[in-house]
Amino acid sequence: MQNLLRPNDFDNFIGQKKLKDTLEVMIQSSIQRKKQIDHLLFYGPAGLGKTSLANIVGNMLNKKIKYAQGPLLEKKADILSLFASITKGDIIFIDEIHGINKNVEELLYSAMEDGLIDIVLGPEGDQRIMRMKLPNFTLIGATTLFSKISQPLKDRFGFIGKFTRYSNHEIISILKNSSKILKTNIDIKALKKISSYSRSTPRVANNLLKRCIDFLTVKKMKTINLEIVNDAFFKMGLYKYGLTDQHIIYLKFLSESFKNNWVSINSISGIINEEKTNIELEIEPLLISNELIKKGTRGRQITEKGISYIDEWNKENKVN
């Protein structure tokens, strides 16, 4: 179902206008000059459409795409296997490209820049180099951790595109398109509620829509309305802005124990029993974007808005 909701062309890809405009120009230039399009690097939070846009580039150029996951490219043999099967004009898409083993990353440099890979053969002291000549290709990299990519690798991309969060209007448009594809009726109040819980992310919005369709189906109703959405979100443990129980536990800890003080990430991790990496990547971004907490050199501090949020949550959930 997820592939069904993926847009296949720029006209149906909502949002990221400047990024789309640039890519359309690059594609048209590539076609008119009969030259391979430059290597592309997309970065931004998960679920914003990096893979979808890579697919559209392939569709517009009528080129095959070979997919790979960065963290699975651990050995030189993995890199060689990836490039050995490509033909002239192919596109290689590496998702989470920051996860490539740094010991083999250098093989990409000459591949991207010169279309060559040098392979060292034989035991130490009696080594020789075999050069693999590659056909023209385009590498599209995608990452959620741009800072983790080395500068030499960044420098070999002809265009680096940043994906930004979507507006409520854009998310509602995406949901309308998705509901049509899924042949489901939904009213405007329900659309707005799903959008406000979507974390400004199309993937999250579409997943929430599908869960509401589940509730619609079981209730044997014809249209997703606000009542169905509220029931679905309550049973899924979703709260205002799309917060989950993890976010609530985090905010309650800061509100009840450190209301006017800063607290270190290590203290938060130990007390709420969450890994530091999970807190920084999965919990805090949504809290920061909604101005519920502040992040600084002294640690984290809940804001007045965050305190009000927890007070309201406690009342709604009848917590003393």
Q: How much of the chain exceeds pLDDT 70, in percent?
A: 97
Q: The tokens of 62 are what? A: 């009528």
Confidence of residue 74 (pLDDT cuts 50, 70, 90): very high
What DSSP state is assigned to residue 75? S
Q: Which of 20, 138, 143, 144 is catalytic?
A: 144
Quick one: pLDDT at residue 121? 66
**Could you confirm whether 6 is annotated as catalytic?**
no
HSE at residue 22, side-chain half, CA atoms within 13 A, is 15
Q: Quick check: 257 pLDDT over 90?
A: no
- Residue, of 128 and 292, whose pLDDT is higher: 292
**Could you confirm whether 50 is annotated as catalytic?**
yes
**Could you confirm whether 311 is annotated as catalytic?**
no
Q: Which of 51, 138, 143, 201 is catalytic?
A: 51
Q: Which of 90, 95, 193, 300 is catalytic?
A: 95
Quickly count: other Cβ atoms within 10 Å of residue 100's Cβ. 25
**Could you confirm whether 95 is annotated as catalytic?**
yes
Quick one: pLDDT at residue 4? 84
Q: Which of 294, 306, 189 is nearest to 247 (CA)?
A: 306
Tell if the pTM clears 0.75, that is, is over it: yes
Is it true that 2-162 and 243-310 share their CATH fold? no
Q: What ranges do the domains of the chain cover? A: 2-162, 168-238, 243-310
CA distance 169 to 264: 37
Residues in Cβ contact with 238 at an 8 Å cutoff, skipping those fewer than 6 apart: 197, 208, 244
Beta strand residue intervals within 56-205, DSSP E: 65-69, 91-95, 116-121, 128-133, 138-143, 159-162, 185-186
Q: What is the pLDDT of residues 185-206, one digit of tens each?
A: 999 999 999 999 999 999 999 9
Q: Quick check: 151 pLDDT over 80?
A: yes
Q: Which of 20, 193, 199, 203 is catalytic?
A: 203
Amino acid, single-letter form, for residue 173: S
Confidence of residue 123 (pLDDT cuts 50, 70, 90): low
Name the CATH architecture for the domain at 2-162. Answer: 3-Layer(aba) Sandwich (3.40)
Fold of 168-238: Helicase, Ruva Protein; domain 3 (1.10.8)
Yes or no: domain 243-310 corresponds to CATH 3.30.70.20? no
**Could you confirm whether 223 is annotated as catalytic?**
no
